[in-house]
């Protein structure tokens, strides 16, 4: 009988410890989520994306300009003959 009571309380304590660990894990996960919603971080991400987009647009414009220059044949100066 005493062994059964000891086992019962041991299982009960073990379940309580597991439950507390799960709650701590949830709380820690919630803190991680809260930190990621920092407005400064979001602003930095947006600024980084805008900067990358501007660089890409400038690079594409340079490449397009270079391709356009290569496509236009250069005219040779006319040679006039003396009569």
- pLDDT number for residue 49: 95
Q: Where are the domains of the chain?
A: 1-35, 38-69
**DSSP assigned state of 63:** H
C-alpha dihedral over 67, 73, 77, 80, to 10 degrees? Answer: -170
pLDDT in tens, 53-70: 999 999 999 888 877 777
- pLDDT band, residue 48 (cuts 50/70/90): very high
Q: Which of 27-36, 44-53, 61-70 has the highest mean pLDDT?
A: 44-53
Which residue stretches of 1-83 are H helix?
Answer: 2-36, 39-71
């Amino acid at each position: 009988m005493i062994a059964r009571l000891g086992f019962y309380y041991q299982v009960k304590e073990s379940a309580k410890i597991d439950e507390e660990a799960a709650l701590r894990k949830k709380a820690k996960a919630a803190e991680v989520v809260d930190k990621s919603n920092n407005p400064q971080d979001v602003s930095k991400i947006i600024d980084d994306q805008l900067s990358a987009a501007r660089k890409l647009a400038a690079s594409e414009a340079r490449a397009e300009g270079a391709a356009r220059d290569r496509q236009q044949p250069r005219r040779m100066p006319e040679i006039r003959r003396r009569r």
